[in-house]
Amino acid sequence: AQSVTQPDIHITVSEGASLELRCNYSYGATPYLFWYVQSPGQGLQLLLKYFSGDTLVQGIKGFEAEFKRSQSSFNLRKPSVHWSDAAEYFCAVGARSSGSARQLTFGSGTQLTVLP
Amino acid sequence: DTGVSQNPRHKITKRGQNVTFRCDPISEHNRLYWYRQTLGQGPEFLTYFQNEAQLEKSRLLSDRFSAERPKGSFSTLEIQRTEQGDSAMYLCASSSTRRDSSYEQYFGPGTRLTVT
């Protein structure tokens, strides 16, 4: 069974600073990988995904993530954080399996606070 | 594309009462998922439909929980004899069956259940 670890429960950065949120996964093969963002009281919005090919993927709102197979990681980055980026971020993994439910397994999330 | 919608957004109920939530997926999506999210955690998979067929259920889905998708469009999730431990955000997601896109799940805003 797959699992996801987000080691940082809470991260605080100043507006304009760079950001990196860590995600490590456990899965026997190359998984599908996702980052979602959740604002208070809201559902999850898909930021970006990795299926195959280029290991550096671009997403919405200026975010990018890099898949590193050797480290089983899929860290999320943004060069310059905006106050509106304050939210909770979830990394998720989907198993590559035909005929399966293809449900996602989520990490426990990283809460991002942005200081003015 | 109006997105995934869920009703009600909030539900407060007394222990022992039954509650029902509704999810309307994105219109062309025939895969539908229910997840549960408790405070400080990522969403956890509950169950999955492809069209009207319920194809997978998590061990989290006790006998008090039942889900339906009668015509392959909207879905309902019913909890009977609610317990305080059922208090959570219930999230619905949908995806298409197009190759690779079937892993992209789009989430609704959720129904927050409080059992008193």
In tens, the pLDDT along A8-52 reads: 999 999 999 999 999 999 987 778 899 999 998 778 999 999 988
Measure B68 CA to nearest chain A CA, in Å: 16
Place of tokens 């399996």: A97
Show which residues on chain B lie within 8 Å of chain A, measured between beta carbons. 4, 6, 31, 33, 40-45, 48, 55-56, 91, 93, 95, 100, 102-110, 112
Cα A92 from chain centroid? 7
- CA gap A52, B35 in Å, rounded: 26
Dihedral, A86, A10, A89, B44 alpha carbons, nearest 10: -140
Highest average pLDDT, of A96-105, B64-73, B74-83, comes from B74-83
Asked if residue A108 has pLDDT above 90, the reply is yes
| Residues constituting chain B | 116
What residues 16-35 of chain A have any CB closer than 8 A to a CB of chain B?
32, 34
Q: What percent of chain A has pLDDT over 90?
A: 75
Kindly report the backbone phi and psi dihedral angles of residue B48, in degrees, each rounded to the nearest multiple of 5, phi listed first: -145, 140
pLDDT confidence of residue A79: 97
Asked if residue B1 has pLDDT above 60, the reply is no
Q: Which two tokens stand for residue B11?
A: 């539900």
Q: Cβ separation of A43 and B4 shorter than 8 Å?
A: yes
> What DSSP string describes A29-80?
SPPEEEEEEE-TT--EEEEEEE-SS-SEEE-GGG-EEEEEGGGTEEEEEESS
Nearest CA in chain A to B88: A41
Q: Cβ separation of B43 and A32 shorter than 8 Å?
A: no
**Per the omega criterion (within 30 degrees of 0), is the bond before A7 cis?**
no
Q: Cβ separation of B42 and A51 shorter than 8 Å?
A: no
| pLDDT (average), residues B32-57 | 93
The helix/strand/coil state of B84 is: helix
At A12, the amino acid letter reads T
Instruction: Quickly state the pLDDT bin for B2 (edges 50, 70, 90).
Output: confident
Highest average pLDDT, of A51-55, B73-77, B94-98, comes from B73-77
Instruction: Quickly state the pLDDT bin for A101 (edges 50, 70, 90).
Output: low
| pLDDT (average), residues A81-95 | 94
Residues A94, A109 contacting (CB under 8 angstroms): no
Cα A28 from chain centroid? 19
> Strand B75-79 relative to strand B65-68: parallel, antiparallel, unpaired?
antiparallel
